[in-house]
Structure 1
Amino acid sequence: MSASKKQHSLLALAWLATRALMLWLLAHDDLVLLGRGGVSREVGHLYFRWYGVLSHGTFPAGDRLWQYPPGAGPVLLAPGLLPALTYFTAFVVLTLATDAVITWALARAGGRPGRSLRGAALWILALPLLLHVPLARYDVQVTAFAVISLLTLSRSTRACGAFAAMGALVKVWPALILIGTPRGRTTREIWTSAAVTAAALLVVLAAVFGSPFDFLRQQGGRGVQIESLGGTVLGFARRAGWPGRVRYQYGAMEFVGPYVSEVAAASLALTVAAFGLLLLWRVRARHWTAATPYDAALAAVLLFTVTSRVISPQYMVWLLGLSAVCLTSRHTTQRPVAALIVVATAISSVAYPAQYGEVVHSTWTGCLLMLVRNGLLATAAGLSFTRLWRSGTSKTATDRAQTGGLSRNPHPIPAVFRTRP
């Protein structure tokens, strides 16, 4: 057996073993340390309720918990394609199938000359750090669109844009992965494909379902979730005597009380600033490698995640998927960032579901868990953007571009990634 086939066989065995463990955890979801059934309840109750509404040809209008773009509808209806199974079982089966597709795509990309299987290994081994949470949320499906979009960039600009658009219509954030596409004709083709795909799908969804844009009305009232960066600040303020409290609203545990609106406004301001930094990088960048679109996608989603008013545990699925894409390329600048994300993922599982009561009540344990997890994410975001900036704007990078590419890698950079005048 060749070394390549042996590596792929080991990855397949690792996937089977880790996913069996995740299924076991899901089957024992009622254990105290696994959330007492809280993790699986979202699929069995909330998603299933939405499925009933969607199956009648309309989105859940007026439902404060429905805050997702129209593309989420078909994803939540998909378990109906397996009528022999319960909705919950069918959802888990489809999530595992999507997970397998992501693994296959990463392994296929990493097996090409000059690429690496580290990305597939990271996805296989790091996703179980979230325990059974990925199997009971539809973020694996969203991440699949982003991963496939990035991995098809060098082969088909139309496919890259189309997959990004489909992901954005399911959960918005995949639109960010196009921030690092090479300037010139490549970007025009990808962004045009994304716009045309999004427009066409919106027309279809609006024709098939009623109230497709009602989700926009539910976004404005969002507060500060307890697991966000702003929530960490309010958690420590609560320990110091701040009179605020925690309440379940808009599908999350959020702080309510004095100064919460100011913290939420500060988070939005930081998000705008992050977007400005990304645009500045794009204007200033002069050097693209095969990994630059991957690195930029990870940096963008990290910045928007850290500055968001909400950082749910399943958001780590997005970051793991994008980290895995980065590691398929030997040109990537994001290896230390990926390591920080893996550690933050492990701590996220301690905070939820194991110690979520501590986080909800803002105990010292809960506050410190959030401080460490969010501190790691903030550090990762800063490091990610700094390394992206230096790789694209430094004099050394420019010199390398003019002399034929990265000096330490003999593999040529595909023409699609070379900066055009």
Structure 2
Amino acid sequence: MTSARTGRLIALWAMFLGVHALVAVLGWIYPSQPMGDVVLVYEPWSAAALGGGAIVGITEQWVYPQLALLPMLIAKLLSLPLVPMLGASGAYLIAWAVLVTALDAVAFGVLLGRTASRPHRIAGWTWSAALFLLGPIAMYRIDAVTVPLVVIGGLWLRKRPAVAAALLTIGAWIKIWPGALIVAAVLAGTMRMRMLLTAAAVTAGVVVLLFLLGADGELFGFLTEQTGRGLQIEAVAATPFLWLAMTGSARIEYSFDILTFQIAAAGADVVTALLTPLMIVAVLAIALIGSIKAMRGASFPRLFPPLALALVSALIVTNKVGSPQFQTWLIAPVLLWIVFDRTRARVPVVVVLLLCALTCLIYPLSYDALLRAELVPVLLLSARNILLIVLLAIGIRALVRVPVKP
């Protein structure tokens, strides 16, 4: 390796780790407590589980798939030596930031690989930029744990399909969205049966383990918990209601059951009820296009990236929840697009970076004003949500344009 390439790698690693340190610190500085979920929810959940109390997902229903508790428990164990100096909350926040940084560093090393070719280096710089622009929400949520799993899994799909499918399935048992990349990989890949069998085996293993731990009625509680949710204010479909809230024709209310702000307005329940069927239709339609392209001989590097991005974007656009951390879901697909097909990745990358920046301006920087339905944050959120629809359209357009064998 030449000295110039070594220097570029050192700069890449310095930027990547430096951005993580900066973003971790900003979580303590920015308004609206962007690391609130970690200290107010994850830490008590993990403390209760380790202390012999209720175990979320096992002894009581939970909003997340059960493996989401594992990184929370690891962070709790890592925090124990720091508790005498920083207290339980401060120690847990630092442990969580260290855990996420370590996982990201492993994935970053896999991304750069031995050669650190130009596409891989560009993907590395893009990841650092996305983290910086998105801010603390990129680290202080459970979604942050799934991003490195998806990056590694996506990179290994062609050479280690079974391991890749296992990683993506584990990611889906932490937060559901990595399942979209399993679908994309199975449709676009050539080793479909191996990936399907691996995903089924991992899922079966998780289910058996959960049964042995005592989860029966709570096994799929993360699905039933979602059915009762209202329309969250940041969801794409909530955008018109926010403008109504500015005139007093809609209200922003806090749900103590789901711990989030939701829309209360005439017609909001109808929109909420329509979103899940719309999501199913959108995902099936995108998957159908992908399967037709695959059957007609489309290559994996051209087909997988737009298919993955379109599926993930559809999950966000049609979701009744619009949490800011959902933007982390978009990072892995565009990184993989850069690696597999850099030329056609430019526009999606720019759009995702803009989405990260807009999301940070909304949460946490102007979130209090958004809760008061003030003009500037409503404009910012409207622009962000329109851009999400644009990204979905870009993904679908790219998918439709994927060449097939004559």
TM-score by structure 1 length?
0.85
Describe the SS at the equivalent of 1:369.
helix
Distance change >3 Å, CA 183–CA 370, structure 1 → 2: closer
**1:51-73 residue CA offsets vs partner (Å, 9 max, x unmatched):** 12322375336999930011112
- Alignment-mate amino acid for residue 180 of structure 1: A
Q: Tell me if structure 1 keeps the 8 A contact 2:317–2:389.
A: yes
Matched, 1:45 2:40: yes
Distance change >3 Å, CA 93–CA 231, structure 1 → 2: same
- Alignment-mate amino acid for residue 107 of structure 1: L
Matched, 1:120 2:124: yes
Q: Tell me if structure 1 keeps the 8 A contact 2:158–2:189.
A: no
Q: Tell me if structure 1 keeps the 8 A contact 2:58–2:219.
A: no
Query: Pairwise mapping of residues 7-22 of structure 1 onto structure 2 (< 5 A)?
Result: 7-22=8-23
Aligned to 1:60: 56
Taking the aligned partners of 1:334 and 1:274, their CA distance within structure 2 comes to 22
Matched, 1:94 2:99: yes
Which 5+ residue runs of structure 2 have no aligned equivalent?
Answer: 83-90
Describe the SS at the equivalent of 1:377.
helix
**1:235-277 residue CA offsets vs partner (Å, 9 max, x unmatched):** 1122344243322341221112321111112322321221122
Aligned to 1:410: none
Taking the aligned partners of 2:290 and 2:251, their CA distance within structure 1 comes to 41
Q: Tell me if structure 2 keeps the 8 A contact 1:59–1:212.
A: no
Matched, 1:354 2:365: yes
Aligned to 1:137: 141
Distance change >3 Å, CA 2–CA 137, structure 1 → 2: same
Aligned to 2:386: 375
Matched, 1:159 2:138: no
What is the deviation of 1:218?
1.8
Query: Pairwise mapping of residues 21-40 of structure 1 onto structure 2 (< 5 A)?
Result: 21-28=22-29, 34-36=30-32, 38-40=33-35
Q: Tell me if structure 2 keeps the 8 A contact 1:226–1:359.
A: no
Describe the SS at the equivalent of 1:253.
strand
How big is the alpha-carbon RMSD for the aligned residues of Structure 1 and Structure 2?
2.4
Distance change >3 Å, CA 279–CA 60, structure 1 → 2: same
Q: Structure 1 stretches (4+) deviating beyond 6 angstroms? A: 61-65
Taking the aligned partners of 1:143 and 1:209, their CA distance within structure 2 comes to 29
Distance change >3 Å, CA 207–CA 332, structure 1 → 2: farther
- Which deviates the most, 273-282 or 287-296? 287-296
**1:123-142 residue CA offsets vs partner (Å, 9 max, x unmatched):** 01221112222232121211
Q: Tell me if structure 1 keeps the 8 A contact 2:242–2:250.
A: no
Describe the SS at the equivalent of 1:246.
strand
- Which deviates the most, 238-247 or 200-209? 238-247
Taking the aligned partners of 1:272 and 1:127, their CA distance within structure 2 comes to 30
Describe the SS at the equivalent of 1:171.
coil
- Alignment-mate amino acid for residue 209 of structure 2: V
Matched, 1:225 2:232: yes
Q: Tell me if structure 2 keeps the 8 A contact 1:14–1:125.
A: no
Q: Which of the two has greater helix per residue?
A: 2
Describe the SS at the equivalent of 1:247.
strand
Aligned to 1:278: 286
- Alignment-mate amino acid for residue 199 of structure 1: A
- Which deviates the most, 73-82 or 217-226? 73-82
Aligned to 2:86: none
Distance change >3 Å, CA 184–CA 352, structure 1 → 2: closer
Taking the aligned partners of 1:71 and 1:270, their CA distance within structure 2 comes to 28
Aligned to 1:300: 311
What is the deviation of 1:47?
0.8
Aligned to 1:74: 70
Distance change >3 Å, CA 110–CA 166, structure 1 → 2: farther
Q: How many residues align?
A: 388
TM-score by structure 2 length?
0.88
Taking the aligned partners of 1:257 and 1:62, their CA distance within structure 2 comes to 35
Distance change >3 Å, CA 222–CA 289, structure 1 → 2: same
Taking the aligned partners of 2:262 and 2:247, their CA distance within structure 1 comes to 18
Aligned to 1:260: 268
Give % identity.
Answer: 24
Aligned to 1:196: 201
Taking the aligned partners of 1:361 and 1:123, their CA distance within structure 2 comes to 33
Aligned to 1:417: none
Taking the aligned partners of 1:267 and 1:291, their CA distance within structure 2 comes to 30
Which 5+ residue runs of structure 1 have no aligned equivalent?
Answer: 29-33, 392-396, 403-421
- Which deviates the most, 333-342 or 77-86? 77-86
Matched, 1:5 2:16: no
What is the deviation of 1:366?
2.3
